[in-house]
Amino acid sequence: MVLDIVQHWEVFRNITEVFILVPALLGLKGNLEMTLASRLSTAVNIGKMDSPIEKWNLIIGNLALKQVQATVVGFLAAVAAVILGWIPEGKYHLNHSVLLCSSSVATAFIASLLQGIIMVGVIVGSKKTGINPDNVATPIAASFGDLITLAILAWISQGLYDCLENYYYISPLVGAFFLALTPMWIIIAAKHPATRIVLHSGWEPVITAMVISSIGGLILDTTVSDPNLVGIVVYTPVINGIGGNLVAIQASRISTYLHLHSVPGELPEEAKGCYYPCRTFCGTGVNNKSAQVLLLLLFYRYLSYYGLLTGWCTTSGKKGKIQTVFLFLILLHLEIFLELPYLQ
Protein backbone atom coordinates (compact mmCIF):
# COMPACT_ATOMS: atom_id res chain seq x y z
CA MET A 1 0.00 0.00 0.00
CA VAL A 2 2.89 2.33 0.77
CA LEU A 3 4.31 1.71 -2.71
CA ASP A 4 0.90 2.35 -4.26
CA ILE A 5 0.90 5.77 -2.57
CA VAL A 6 4.49 6.86 -3.15
CA GLN A 7 4.50 5.84 -6.83
CA HIS A 8 2.66 9.10 -7.50
CA TRP A 9 5.28 11.24 -5.75
CA GLU A 10 7.25 13.62 -7.90
CA VAL A 11 10.55 11.77 -7.60
CA PHE A 12 8.98 8.47 -8.68
CA ARG A 13 7.29 10.11 -11.66
CA ASN A 14 10.33 12.05 -12.88
CA ILE A 15 13.10 9.57 -11.98
CA THR A 16 11.53 6.22 -12.75
CA GLU A 17 14.79 4.40 -12.04
CA VAL A 18 13.80 4.62 -8.37
CA PHE A 19 11.40 1.76 -9.09
CA ILE A 20 14.39 -0.39 -10.07
CA LEU A 21 15.81 0.20 -6.60
CA VAL A 22 12.67 -1.05 -4.85
CA PRO A 23 13.10 -4.85 -5.28
CA ALA A 24 16.86 -4.62 -4.69
CA LEU A 25 16.52 -2.68 -1.43
CA LEU A 26 13.55 -4.73 -0.25
CA GLY A 27 15.67 -7.78 -1.01
CA LEU A 28 18.19 -6.59 1.56
CA LYS A 29 15.65 -7.65 4.16
CA GLY A 30 15.96 -11.25 3.07
CA ASN A 31 19.64 -11.10 2.18
CA LEU A 32 20.88 -9.34 5.32
CA GLU A 33 18.23 -8.84 8.01
CA MET A 34 16.88 -12.38 7.98
CA THR A 35 20.40 -13.76 7.71
CA LEU A 36 21.31 -11.82 10.85
CA ALA A 37 18.18 -13.07 12.62
CA SER A 38 18.91 -16.66 11.58
CA ARG A 39 22.60 -16.46 12.54
CA LEU A 40 21.94 -15.00 16.00
CA SER A 41 18.95 -17.29 16.63
CA THR A 42 21.08 -20.33 15.87
CA ALA A 43 23.83 -18.95 18.13
CA VAL A 44 21.29 -18.67 20.97
CA ASN A 45 19.98 -22.20 20.46
CA ILE A 46 23.42 -23.83 20.42
CA GLY A 47 24.63 -21.89 23.48
CA LYS A 48 27.07 -19.48 21.88
CA MET A 49 25.42 -16.46 23.54
CA ASP A 50 25.41 -17.75 27.11
CA SER A 51 28.54 -15.77 27.99
CA PRO A 52 27.92 -11.98 28.12
CA ILE A 53 31.29 -11.22 26.49
CA GLU A 54 30.76 -13.74 23.70
CA LYS A 55 27.20 -12.51 23.24
CA TRP A 56 28.16 -8.88 22.70
CA ASN A 57 31.10 -9.82 20.50
CA LEU A 58 28.71 -11.71 18.24
CA ILE A 59 26.16 -8.89 18.24
CA ILE A 60 28.62 -6.07 17.53
CA GLY A 61 30.52 -8.07 14.92
CA ASN A 62 27.36 -9.10 13.07
CA LEU A 63 25.89 -5.59 13.15
CA ALA A 64 29.12 -4.12 11.78
CA LEU A 65 29.28 -6.79 9.07
CA LYS A 66 25.69 -6.06 8.10
CA GLN A 67 26.37 -2.33 7.79
CA VAL A 68 29.31 -3.02 5.46
CA GLN A 69 27.21 -5.31 3.29
CA ALA A 70 24.24 -2.93 3.27
CA THR A 71 26.36 0.06 2.22
CA VAL A 72 28.18 -1.80 -0.55
CA VAL A 73 25.06 -3.52 -1.88
CA GLY A 74 23.10 -0.26 -1.71
CA PHE A 75 25.74 1.45 -3.83
CA LEU A 76 25.91 -1.42 -6.33
CA ALA A 77 22.11 -1.50 -6.56
CA ALA A 78 22.12 2.19 -7.49
CA VAL A 79 24.78 1.61 -10.15
CA ALA A 80 22.68 -1.24 -11.56
CA ALA A 81 19.58 0.98 -11.54
CA VAL A 82 21.42 3.72 -13.44
CA ILE A 83 22.68 1.26 -16.07
CA LEU A 84 19.38 -0.59 -16.45
CA GLY A 85 17.49 2.69 -16.68
CA TRP A 86 19.92 4.18 -19.19
CA ILE A 87 20.00 1.22 -21.61
CA PRO A 88 16.33 1.30 -22.76
CA GLU A 89 15.98 5.10 -22.68
CA GLY A 90 19.38 6.06 -24.08
CA LYS A 91 19.47 9.12 -21.82
CA TYR A 92 21.85 9.80 -18.97
CA HIS A 93 21.42 12.49 -16.28
CA LEU A 94 24.33 12.90 -13.88
CA ASN A 95 22.28 14.58 -11.16
CA HIS A 96 19.71 11.76 -11.29
CA SER A 97 22.48 9.18 -10.99
CA VAL A 98 23.97 10.91 -7.94
CA LEU A 99 20.51 11.13 -6.36
CA LEU A 100 19.91 7.42 -6.95
CA CYS A 101 23.26 6.47 -5.41
CA SER A 102 22.78 8.70 -2.38
CA SER A 103 19.19 7.57 -1.82
CA SER A 104 20.10 3.91 -2.15
CA VAL A 105 23.15 4.02 0.13
CA ALA A 106 21.40 6.13 2.78
CA THR A 107 18.30 3.92 2.71
CA ALA A 108 20.28 0.69 2.93
CA PHE A 109 22.42 2.03 5.79
CA ILE A 110 19.62 3.51 7.91
CA ALA A 111 17.13 0.70 7.34
CA SER A 112 19.75 -1.95 8.04
CA LEU A 113 20.85 -0.27 11.27
CA LEU A 114 17.29 0.20 12.56
CA GLN A 115 16.25 -3.35 11.73
CA GLY A 116 19.48 -4.76 13.14
CA ILE A 117 18.90 -3.06 16.49
CA ILE A 118 15.31 -4.33 16.54
CA MET A 119 16.50 -7.87 15.76
CA VAL A 120 19.07 -7.85 18.54
CA GLY A 121 16.46 -6.66 21.03
CA VAL A 122 13.98 -9.33 19.95
CA ILE A 123 16.55 -12.15 20.06
CA VAL A 124 17.97 -11.15 23.45
CA GLY A 125 14.43 -10.73 24.80
CA SER A 126 13.40 -14.12 23.42
CA LYS A 127 16.37 -15.78 25.12
CA LYS A 128 15.51 -14.22 28.48
CA THR A 129 11.85 -15.26 28.26
CA GLY A 130 12.61 -18.80 27.09
CA ILE A 131 11.06 -18.40 23.62
CA ASN A 132 12.70 -19.97 20.58
CA PRO A 133 14.02 -16.95 18.60
CA ASP A 134 13.74 -18.96 15.36
CA ASN A 135 9.97 -18.61 15.67
CA VAL A 136 9.99 -14.92 16.62
CA ALA A 137 12.98 -12.98 15.28
CA THR A 138 12.72 -13.93 11.62
CA PRO A 139 8.97 -13.19 11.27
CA ILE A 140 9.46 -9.80 12.93
CA ALA A 141 12.36 -9.03 10.59
CA ALA A 142 10.12 -9.99 7.69
CA SER A 143 7.21 -7.87 8.91
CA PHE A 144 9.09 -4.64 9.59
CA GLY A 145 11.65 -4.90 6.80
CA ASP A 146 9.57 -3.97 3.77
CA LEU A 147 7.68 -1.16 5.47
CA ILE A 148 10.75 0.48 7.01
CA THR A 149 12.87 0.21 3.86
CA LEU A 150 10.22 1.46 1.46
CA ALA A 151 9.22 4.37 3.70
CA ILE A 152 12.84 5.47 4.17
CA LEU A 153 13.59 5.18 0.43
CA ALA A 154 10.55 7.29 -0.49
CA TRP A 155 11.27 9.93 2.14
CA ILE A 156 15.00 10.27 1.39
CA SER A 157 14.67 10.23 -2.40
CA GLN A 158 11.87 12.81 -2.34
CA GLY A 159 13.85 15.01 0.06
CA LEU A 160 16.96 14.88 -2.12
CA TYR A 161 14.86 15.53 -5.21
CA ASP A 162 13.42 18.68 -3.61
CA CYS A 163 17.00 19.89 -3.02
CA LEU A 164 18.15 19.07 -6.55
CA GLU A 165 17.38 22.45 -8.08
CA ASN A 166 18.82 24.89 -5.53
CA TYR A 167 21.03 22.70 -3.34
CA TYR A 168 22.50 20.23 -5.82
CA TYR A 169 25.49 19.50 -3.55
CA ILE A 170 23.29 17.86 -0.87
CA SER A 171 22.96 14.55 -2.73
CA PRO A 172 26.70 13.87 -3.20
CA LEU A 173 27.41 14.92 0.39
CA VAL A 174 24.83 12.48 1.75
CA GLY A 175 26.21 9.61 -0.32
CA ALA A 176 29.83 10.46 0.54
CA PHE A 177 29.03 10.59 4.27
CA PHE A 178 27.60 7.07 4.44
CA LEU A 179 30.28 5.63 2.16
CA ALA A 180 32.99 7.21 4.34
CA LEU A 181 31.74 5.21 7.33
CA THR A 182 32.43 1.90 5.57
CA PRO A 183 36.12 1.53 6.66
CA MET A 184 35.09 1.90 10.30
CA TRP A 185 32.53 -0.91 10.00
CA ILE A 186 35.08 -3.10 8.19
CA ILE A 187 37.61 -2.68 11.02
CA ILE A 188 35.00 -3.56 13.66
CA ALA A 189 33.74 -6.61 11.74
CA ALA A 190 37.29 -7.85 11.07
CA LYS A 191 38.07 -7.96 14.79
CA HIS A 192 35.64 -10.83 15.38
CA PRO A 193 36.58 -14.29 14.01
CA ALA A 194 33.02 -15.33 13.16
CA THR A 195 32.31 -12.26 11.05
CA ARG A 196 35.83 -11.99 9.60
CA ILE A 197 35.20 -15.12 7.53
CA VAL A 198 31.91 -13.79 6.16
CA LEU A 199 33.52 -10.42 5.47
CA HIS A 200 35.95 -12.11 3.08
CA SER A 201 33.83 -14.87 1.57
CA GLY A 202 30.18 -13.90 1.95
CA TRP A 203 29.78 -11.46 -0.94
CA GLU A 204 28.86 -13.72 -3.85
CA PRO A 205 25.32 -14.67 -2.76
CA VAL A 206 24.48 -11.14 -1.60
CA ILE A 207 25.65 -9.46 -4.81
CA THR A 208 24.07 -12.15 -6.99
CA ALA A 209 20.74 -11.66 -5.23
CA MET A 210 21.05 -7.89 -5.72
CA VAL A 211 21.61 -8.30 -9.47
CA ILE A 212 18.59 -10.59 -9.80
CA SER A 213 16.45 -8.16 -7.78
CA SER A 214 17.61 -5.25 -9.95
CA ILE A 215 16.45 -7.08 -13.07
CA GLY A 216 13.13 -7.56 -11.32
CA GLY A 217 13.14 -3.82 -10.65
CA LEU A 218 13.55 -3.16 -14.37
CA ILE A 219 10.45 -5.27 -15.01
CA LEU A 220 8.60 -3.31 -12.32
CA ASP A 221 9.71 -0.03 -13.88
CA THR A 222 8.26 -1.21 -17.21
CA THR A 223 4.93 -2.38 -15.79
CA VAL A 224 4.33 0.83 -13.84
CA SER A 225 4.10 2.80 -17.09
CA ASP A 226 1.79 0.23 -18.76
CA PRO A 227 -1.84 1.48 -18.69
CA ASN A 228 -3.10 -2.12 -18.80
CA LEU A 229 -1.35 -2.86 -15.50
CA VAL A 230 -2.39 0.18 -13.49
CA GLY A 231 -2.38 -0.72 -9.80
CA ILE A 232 -0.35 -3.90 -10.20
CA VAL A 233 2.50 -2.25 -8.30
CA VAL A 234 0.63 -2.79 -5.02
CA TYR A 235 1.16 -6.55 -5.37
CA THR A 236 4.91 -6.35 -5.86
CA PRO A 237 6.08 -6.09 -2.21
CA VAL A 238 3.58 -8.79 -1.22
CA ILE A 239 4.80 -11.31 -3.79
CA ASN A 240 8.41 -10.40 -3.06
CA GLY A 241 7.96 -10.59 0.68
CA ILE A 242 5.58 -13.47 1.30
CA GLY A 243 8.01 -16.13 0.11
CA GLY A 244 10.99 -14.63 1.90
CA ASN A 245 9.03 -14.16 5.11
CA LEU A 246 7.95 -17.79 5.45
CA VAL A 247 10.97 -19.44 3.86
CA ALA A 248 13.37 -17.49 6.08
CA ILE A 249 11.65 -19.06 9.09
CA GLN A 250 12.15 -22.51 7.58
CA ALA A 251 15.78 -21.84 6.66
CA SER A 252 16.49 -20.55 10.17
CA ARG A 253 14.95 -23.65 11.75
CA ILE A 254 16.89 -25.96 9.42
CA SER A 255 20.15 -24.16 10.29
CA THR A 256 19.52 -24.63 14.00
CA TYR A 257 18.57 -28.28 13.44
CA LEU A 258 21.76 -29.00 11.50
CA HIS A 259 23.94 -27.35 14.15
CA LEU A 260 22.29 -29.41 16.89
CA HIS A 261 22.15 -32.80 15.16
CA SER A 262 25.26 -32.93 12.98
CA VAL A 263 28.71 -31.49 12.42
CA PRO A 264 29.88 -29.39 9.44
CA GLY A 265 30.36 -31.59 6.38
CA GLU A 266 27.89 -34.26 7.48
CA LEU A 267 24.10 -34.56 7.24
CA PRO A 268 21.73 -36.10 9.80
CA GLU A 269 20.22 -39.46 8.83
CA GLU A 270 16.79 -38.15 7.83
CA ALA A 271 18.35 -35.66 5.38
CA LYS A 272 20.28 -38.35 3.53
CA GLY A 273 19.02 -40.22 0.48
CA CYS A 274 17.89 -39.32 -3.01
CA TYR A 275 16.00 -36.05 -3.27
CA TYR A 276 12.66 -36.02 -5.07
CA PRO A 277 10.08 -33.26 -5.70
CA CYS A 278 7.75 -32.51 -2.79
CA ARG A 279 9.99 -34.44 -0.36
CA THR A 280 9.84 -31.33 1.79
CA PHE A 281 6.10 -31.75 2.35
CA CYS A 282 5.82 -35.58 2.33
CA GLY A 283 8.20 -36.44 5.16
CA THR A 284 7.41 -36.87 8.85
CA GLY A 285 10.43 -35.07 10.32
CA VAL A 286 10.24 -31.87 12.32
CA ASN A 287 11.36 -29.76 9.35
CA ASN A 288 8.80 -31.42 7.06
CA LYS A 289 6.02 -30.63 9.51
CA SER A 290 7.10 -27.00 9.80
CA ALA A 291 7.08 -26.73 5.97
CA GLN A 292 3.53 -28.10 5.92
CA VAL A 293 2.44 -25.57 8.55
CA LEU A 294 4.06 -22.68 6.67
CA LEU A 295 2.32 -23.69 3.44
CA LEU A 296 -0.98 -23.77 5.32
CA LEU A 297 -0.26 -20.35 6.81
CA LEU A 298 -0.02 -19.01 3.28
CA PHE A 299 -3.76 -19.41 2.77
CA TYR A 300 -4.57 -17.45 5.92
CA ARG A 301 -2.18 -14.71 4.89
CA TYR A 302 -3.66 -14.70 1.40
CA LEU A 303 -7.17 -14.12 2.77
CA SER A 304 -5.97 -11.10 4.75
CA TYR A 305 -4.06 -9.71 1.76
CA TYR A 306 -7.04 -10.36 -0.49
CA GLY A 307 -9.34 -8.11 1.52
CA LEU A 308 -6.80 -5.31 1.78
CA LEU A 309 -5.54 -5.38 -1.80
CA THR A 310 -8.96 -5.80 -3.40
CA GLY A 311 -10.13 -2.60 -1.75
CA TRP A 312 -6.87 -0.76 -2.38
CA CYS A 313 -5.97 -1.84 -5.91
CA THR A 314 -7.06 0.60 -8.61
CA THR A 315 -7.53 -2.02 -11.32
CA SER A 316 -11.28 -2.20 -10.73
CA GLY A 317 -12.22 -4.15 -13.84
CA LYS A 318 -9.44 -6.69 -13.53
CA LYS A 319 -9.45 -7.56 -9.84
CA GLY A 320 -10.72 -11.12 -10.36
CA LYS A 321 -8.05 -12.02 -12.91
CA ILE A 322 -5.30 -10.34 -10.93
CA GLN A 323 -6.30 -12.09 -7.69
CA THR A 324 -6.36 -15.48 -9.44
CA VAL A 325 -2.90 -14.95 -10.91
CA PHE A 326 -1.73 -13.57 -7.57
CA LEU A 327 -2.81 -16.71 -5.68
CA PHE A 328 -1.23 -19.03 -8.26
CA LEU A 329 2.06 -17.13 -8.21
CA ILE A 330 2.46 -17.02 -4.44
CA LEU A 331 1.60 -20.75 -4.18
CA LEU A 332 4.17 -21.64 -6.83
CA HIS A 333 6.62 -19.15 -5.35
CA LEU A 334 6.39 -20.55 -1.83
CA GLU A 335 6.46 -24.21 -2.88
CA ILE A 336 9.65 -23.70 -4.87
CA PHE A 337 11.26 -21.63 -2.13
CA LEU A 338 10.43 -24.17 0.60
CA GLU A 339 12.18 -26.83 -1.48
CA LEU A 340 15.36 -24.78 -1.93
CA PRO A 341 16.76 -24.99 1.65
CA TYR A 342 16.97 -28.78 1.26
CA LEU A 343 19.07 -28.45 -1.87
CA GLN A 344 21.80 -26.31 -0.30
pLDDT of residue 49: 78
> Mean pLDDT per segment of 10 residues, for the chain of length 344 residues?
70 79 74 77 79 85 90 89 76 83 92 87 83 72 73 89 86 92 92 83 80 76 66 64 69 74 67 62 71 70 60 52 69 71 60
pLDDT at 317: 47
Please tell me whether residue 314 adopts helix, strand or coil conformation.
Answer: coil
Contacts 24+ apart (CB under 8 A), 341-344: 341/247, 341/250, 341/251, 341/254, 342/254, 342/271, 342/275, 342/279, 342/280, 343/275
CA distance 258 to 102: 40
Task: Determine the Cα–Cα distance for residues 82 and 109; give it in Å rounded to an integer.
Answer: 19
Predicted local distance difference test score (pLDDT) of residue 23: 77
* Residue-level pLDDT at 110: 92
What pLDDT is attached to residue 316? 44
Strands annotated E in 19-150: none
> What is the reported pLDDT for 179?
93
- Using DSSP's 3-state secondary structure scheme, residue 288 falls into helix
Q: Greatest CA separation found in the chain?
A: 66
Q: Where are the beta strands (DSSP E) in 207-289?
A: none
Alpha-carbon distance of 134 to 41, in angstroms, equals 6
Residue 176: predicted pLDDT: 93
Separation between Cα atoms, residue 84 and residue 90, nearest integer Å = 10
pLDDT reported for residue 315: 47
* Cα distance between residue 168 and residue 282, in whole Å: 59
